A and B are shown apart, each in its own frame.
Chain A
Amino acid sequence: MAIVIDKSQRWRIFAAHAFLIVLCAIVIFPLLMVVSISLRPGNFAAGSLIPKSISLDHWRFALGLPVTGPDGRVTQPDLPVLLWLWNSVKVATLSATVAVLLSTTAAYAFARLKFARKKAALTGLMLMQMFPTVLALVAIHSIFSRIGHAFPAIGVNSHWSLVLAYSGGIALHIWIIKGFYESIPPEIEEAATVDGATPWQAFWRVLLPMALPILMVVFLLAFIGAVNEYPVASILLHSQDRLTMAVGAKQFLYAQHYLWGDFAAAAILSGLPVSVVFILAQRWMISGLTSGANKG
């Protein structure tokens, strides 16, 4: 850091910091607000950021523990929040795994193999993914209800139907991974081929280990996408014990009575799996895995 700096630079740095601090505050405010609401007695969305008194009732409710009302009556929570959370984690893990499996192989084909209409296929994938899912809801529902007649395990109101539906949305992942593959010199796989590897071994033992960071990114994106997804989940899942968190949380909001406090506690809970997966995935998102292959 030996670059000579102009004096006005100090003011610019100060201004930049001030701007960033304000920006951070704006970003963090909603999160703090949700935490505050979940700790506040009663179900009010408005109010000050720092609660006047703290109540853990909403958290007890979210965690499925009995709540004692102000009149001394003990009520059992009627909504299975933890089960929804588990459903979300299950569906998200499965669909992210399927997405990674499908998109790594598809991206390999697009990046390395020669076949007719490659460009058209790639563009087509992208175009189709650009239409909002909502447009296809009717179709998705009728497809899965039809499948359900033959195979109830993957019909409407099953988690597998959701996993299957999410696995269709991998066009973007294919593009991301394809871009990464193309940054890896093909000679490395050619070297493996000459070393005696079959195309599958060259892919599995040489290319994939180098692509690990991007696979983690794609897994994470797919996981977050599945946890947050609402439209498809809301039409494919019906019974209360099958709902995912995103769909189930809607039930806190009765037409006449919005349970903001319980909703806030559940919302924070639903952020947990994403955070855990992110922390786990981060260990593998190391840069520079491909350095050293070439002359450098």
Chain B
Amino acid sequence: MADLQFKALRKSFGDAEILHGIDLDIRDGEFIVFVGPSGCGKSTLLRCIAGLEEITSGEISIGGQRVNEIPPSKRGIAMVFQSYALYPHMTVAENMAFGLKLAGHSKTEIQAAVLRAAQILQIEPLLDRRPKALSGGQRQRVAIGRAIVRKPGVFLFDEPLSNLDAGLRVQMRVELARLHADLGTTMVYVTHDQVEAMTLADRIVVINQGRIEQVGAPLDLYRRPANRFVAGFIGSPKMNFLTCSLVSARDTDATVRLGDGTLVTAQVDARGLAEGTPLTLGIRPERLLPEATGGEDTARATVLVAEHLGDTVFLHIQGLEGQGQITVKAPPETPFRTDSEVHLRFPAKHCHLFGPDDRALTRLI
């Protein structure tokens, strides 16, 4: 059990700075997910916590103790690697016992700890096998088992599910959530998959190009993204962005004009911005309403491709003047097909507005 703190953490490889000053407090027992595109520095940050990378400046504390100069073995952490990194010359039981053996625990103690972990992960029948006789999912369990026998203060997961197939990934995701509920230990989890982030996290840390973009509970990030990057990264399919300019701003909402002249009202506070300021309108695919007949304040466009997924239909739409492709998530009974003409309505309470600096304007709902 331990909390984690970063103060102005920087990390450079040679001349290239990867992390540009990370400040973050992780509470004891929290499930934190670092999410971001590949190369954003999230894995490097995790390796800094583990002590596998030295930090260039700043401070890391685990459980209130500054650990900058403490080697990985003494930090009270356990890590699950993306590649599992099992010891191929040892059996499953030996793999799991390795850490305890190094720590000098007694044989009976080790045996009990290994057995308990194996029961939690349902790998008891595999204890005498070597890693090469295991499937990918079983190896992943062993890697997790190796981490939990040591009863660490903090668990570190580096994209642990990315090597599993889709079905297994969902199953392991549920088990990880279960494990966190049972153990109540602080967990730091790195992934590029925003679904894993949304489902597992108490709080998500969105990282982009070595900086924290936003920290918050999954639904807060979904509903109130701080900027355009977070808005685009959280949610699948990603949020639609349309360029527009401010027409008027009131106490309760703001009106913007799209490139084709359509007026859209958003429940966003845009007061303080001058009329004509170029803005970005953001709206999630499931909130855009496709209509067959045009009315006031709808934008006319053409369906490029309609993708039927059974429970939903994704309409990929082209044709709004000066805008990129737009995605609409429609119910399966939607009448629109490839090449249909469609009129899009933008419900005011689901519209986001982003300023010229890509920061989100405050929503008034």
Could you tell me which A residues sit within 8 Å of B by CB distance? Answer: 185, 187-188, 190-198, 201, 205-206, 209-210, 288-296
Closest 8 CB pairs of A and B: A292-B132, A292-B131, A195-B99, A187-B85, A295-B163, A191-B85, A196-B73, A293-B88
Q: Are A194 and B84 in contact (CB under 8 A)?
A: no
Among A188, A196, A293, the most chain B Cβ lie within 10 Å of the Cβ of: A196
For window 88-124 of chain B, which residues contact chain A by CB distance below 8 Å?
A: 88-89, 98-99, 102-103
Bound: A295/B131 CA distance, A: 10
Bound: A205/B97 CA distance, A: 13
- Please name all residues of chain A whose beta carbon is closer than 8 Å to the beta carbon of B73 when the two chains form the complex: 193-198
Q: Given that A291-B88, A293-B85 are contacting pairs, would A195 and B52 also be in contact in the complex, using a CB cutoff of 8 Å? A: no
Bound: A109/B167 CA distance, A: 42
Q: Are B79 and A296 in contact (CB under 8 A)?
A: no
Among B99, B134, B150, the most chain A Cβ lie within 10 Å of the Cβ of: B99
Residue in contact with B150 in the complex, picked from A195, A205, A292, CB distance below 8 Å: A195
Minimal beta-carbon separation of B228 from chain A (angstroms): 35
For window 29-52 of chain B, which residues contact chain A by CB distance below 8 Å?
A: 50-52
Q: Which residue of A lies closest to B164 (CB)?
A: A295
Q: Which residue of A lies closest to B83 (CB)?
A: A294
Q: Are A210 and B89 in contact (CB under 8 A)?
A: yes
CB < 8 Å A-B pair total: 92
B166 touches A (CB below 8 Å): no
14 new A-B contacts, CB < 8 A, other than A188-B86, A196-B150, A293-B131, are A187-B83, A190-B50, A191-B81, A193-B51, A193-B52, A194-B50, A194-B51, A196-B73, A210-B89, A288-B132, A289-B88, A291-B132, A292-B130, A293-B87
Q: Are A188 and B102 in contact (CB under 8 A)?
A: no
Minimal beta-carbon separation of B154 from chain A (angstroms): 11
B78 touches A (CB below 8 Å): yes
- Please name all residues of chain B whose beta carbon is closer than 8 Å to the beta carbon of A294 when the two chains form the complex: 83-85
B139 touches A (CB below 8 Å): yes
Q: Which residue of B lies closest to A209 (CB)?
A: B89
B72 touches A (CB below 8 Å): yes
Bound: A198/B85 CA distance, A: 17
- Please name all residues of chain B whose beta carbon is closer than 8 Å to the beta carbon of A193 when the two chains form the complex: 51-52, 71-73
For window 125-150 of chain B, which residues contact chain A by CB distance below 8 Å?
A: 130-134, 136, 139, 146, 150
B77 touches A (CB below 8 Å): yes
Q: Are B52 and A194 in contact (CB under 8 A)?
A: yes
Minimal beta-carbon separation of B195 from chain A (angstroms): 20
Q: Which residue of A lies closest to B52 (CB)?
A: A190
Bound: A201/B73 CA distance, A: 11
Q: Are B98 and A192 in contact (CB under 8 A)?
A: yes
Minimal beta-carbon separation of B16 from chain A (angstroms): 16
Minimal beta-carbon separation of B85 from chain A (angstroms): 4
Q: Which residue of B lies closest to A197 (CB)?
A: B102
Q: Are A195 and B102 in contact (CB under 8 A)?
A: yes
For window 241-289 of chain B, which residues contact chain A by CB distance below 8 Å?
A: none
- Can you list 8 pairs linking A and B with CB atoms under 8 Å apart? A185-B85, A188-B85, A190-B79, A198-B73, A292-B133, A292-B139, A293-B83, A295-B84
Q: Given that A194-B72, A195-B98, A210-B89 are contacting pairs, would A187 and B81 also be in contact in the complex, using a CB cutoff of 8 Å? A: yes
Q: Are B87 and A296 in contact (CB under 8 A)?
A: no
Bound: A142/B38 CA distance, A: 61
Q: Given that A196-B99, A198-B73, A201-B102 are contacting pairs, would A293 and B136 also be in contact in the complex, using a CB cutoff of 8 Å? A: no
Q: Are B88 and A290 in contact (CB under 8 A)?
A: yes
Q: Which residue of B lies closest to A291 (CB)?
A: B132
- Please name all residues of chain A whose beta carbon is closer than 8 Å to the beta carbon of B84 when the two chains form the complex: 293-295
- Please name all residues of chain A whose beta carbon is closer than 8 Å to the beta carbon of B150 when the two chains form the complex: 195-196
Q: Given that A187-B81, A190-B85 are contacting pairs, would A292 and B102 also be in contact in the complex, using a CB cutoff of 8 Å? A: no
Q: Which residue of B lies closest to A185 (CB)?
A: B83
Among B88, B102, B134, the most chain A Cβ lie within 10 Å of the Cβ of: B88
- Please name all residues of chain B whose beta carbon is closer than 8 Å to the beta carbon of A190 when the two chains form the complex: 50, 52, 72, 79, 81, 85
Minimal beta-carbon separation of A296 from chain B (angstroms): 7
- Please name all residues of chain A whose beta carbon is closer than 8 Å to the beta carbon of B82 when the two chains form the complex: 187
Minimal beta-carbon separation of B173 from chain A (angstroms): 17
- Please name all residues of chain B whose beta carbon is closer than 8 Å to the beta carbon of A194 when the two chains form the complex: 50-52, 72-73, 77-79
Q: Are B102 and A196 in contact (CB under 8 A)?
A: yes
Q: Which residue of A lies closest to B162 (CB)?
A: A295
Bound: A195/B147 CA distance, A: 8
Minimal beta-carbon separation of A143 from chain B (angstroms): 41
- Please name all residues of chain A whose beta carbon is closer than 8 Å to the beta carbon of B131 when the two chains form the complex: 292-293
Minimal beta-carbon separation of A40 from chain B (angstroms): 51
- Please name all residues of chain A whose beta carbon is closer than 8 Å to the beta carbon of B83 when the two chains form the complex: 185, 187, 293-295
Q: Which residue of B lies closest to A190 (CB)?
A: B52
Minimal beta-carbon separation of B67 from chain A (angstroms): 13
Minimal beta-carbon separation of A231 from chain B (angstroms): 40
Bound: A292/B136 CA distance, A: 9
Among B72, B87, B136, the most chain A Cβ lie within 10 Å of the Cβ of: B87
Q: Which residue of A lies closest to B75 (CB)?
A: A194
Q: Which residue of A lies closest to B99 (CB)?
A: A195
Bound: A193/B131 CA distance, A: 19
Bound: A193/B77 CA distance, A: 11
- Please name all residues of chain B whose beta carbon is closer than 8 Å to the beta carbon of A210 when the two chains form the complex: 88-89
- Please name all residues of chain B whose beta carbon is closer than 8 Å to the beta carbon of A198 when the two chains form the complex: 73
Minimal beta-carbon separation of A89 from chain B (angstroms): 30
Minimal beta-carbon separation of B104 from chain A (angstroms): 10
Residue in contact with A188 in the complex, picked from B72, B87, B133, B139, CB distance below 8 Å: B87
Bound: A290/B133 CA distance, A: 12
Q: Are B86 and A292 in contact (CB under 8 A)?
A: yes
Bound: A296/B130 CA distance, A: 13
Bound: A2/B287 CA distance, A: 57
Bound: A196/B152 CA distance, A: 11
Bound: A196/B146 CA distance, A: 12
Bound: A291/B83 CA distance, A: 12
Minimal beta-carbon separation of A25 from chain B (angstroms): 41
Minimal beta-carbon separation of B219 from chain A (angstroms): 33
Q: Which residue of B lies closest to A290 (CB)?
A: B88
- Please name all residues of chain B whose beta carbon is closer than 8 Å to the beta carbon of A192 when the two chains form the complex: 87, 98
Bound: A272/B130 CA distance, A: 37
